[in-house]
């Protein structure tokens, strides 16, 4: 069974950002938001290195990473743990791994390299309300609460 199954893939599609945690040579953590990322296959996630010198340096020293993402409206997501390595543009494998990222950015950003993460474990992330108030907490109630907190409204529905 794939670690990056359909529910993980669907949650990733609904998440705007992910957060990549790395550790430096001294053992100090670093968490950095990543806007351009994708699930590449059943075992790998790719992250564009657009402006990530600290993440790149940390991965070169210690490849262990944690990548987390949450749909801010439903307030559910996943934590992916694994090991990462950097692929430079001149690497023959770069084009294949970078393809989903390049499709996302077009000409908007320059991708300096790709961080390829081999996922070894996946865990669910859920807002505490789902656990502490399961009888009254639904995805719909979480969306309504988030929309109120963020002061946003649903997009108008298109007519067929």
Number of domains the chain contains: 1
**Structural domain includes residue 159:** no
Q: Tell me, what CATH number does 145's domain have? A: 2.30.110.10
Q: Which residues constitute the domain of residue 114?
A: 6-150
**Structural domain includes residue 156:** no
**Structural domain includes residue 134:** yes
Position 130 scores a pLDDT of 85
Whole-prediction pTM value?
Answer: 0.89
**Structural domain includes residue 157:** no
**Structural domain includes residue 20:** yes
Position 7 scores a pLDDT of 94
Please give the torsion angle defined by the CA atoms of residues 66, 87, 5 and 33, in that order, rounded to the nearest 10 degrees.
Answer: 40
Cα radius of gyration rounded to whole Å, the chain = 17
Position 141 scores a pLDDT of 81
**Structural domain includes residue 10:** yes
Average pLDDT of each block of 10 consecutive residues along the chain (160 residues)?
Answer: 90 94 95 96 97 96 97 93 97 96 92 98 93 85 81 78
Position 1 scores a pLDDT of 62
- Burial category of 146 from C-beta neighbours within 10 Å (exposed 0-12, middle 13-18, buried 19 and up): middle
**Structural domain includes residue 140:** yes
**Structural domain includes residue 155:** no
């Amino acid at each position: 069974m794939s670690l990056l199954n359909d529910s993980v893939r669907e949650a990733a599609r609904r998440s705007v950002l992910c957060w990549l945690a790395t550790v430096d040579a001294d053992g100090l953590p670093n968490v950095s938001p990543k806007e351009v990322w994708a699930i590449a296959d059943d075992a790998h996630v790719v992250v564009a290195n657009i402006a990530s010198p600290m993440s790149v340096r940390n991965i070169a020293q210690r490849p262990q990473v944690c990548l987390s993402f949450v749909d801010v409206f439903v307030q559910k997501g996943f934590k992916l743990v694994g090991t990462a390595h950097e692929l430079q543009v001149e690497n023959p494998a770069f084009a294949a791994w970078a393809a989903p990222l390049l499709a996302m950015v077009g000409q908007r950003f320059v991708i300096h390299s790709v961080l390829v993460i081999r996922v070894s474990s996946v865990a669910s992330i859920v807002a505490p309300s789902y656990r502490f108030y399961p009888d009254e907490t639904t995805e719909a109630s979480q969306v309504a609460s988030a929309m109120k907190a963020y002061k946003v409204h649903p997009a108008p529905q298109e007519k067929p």
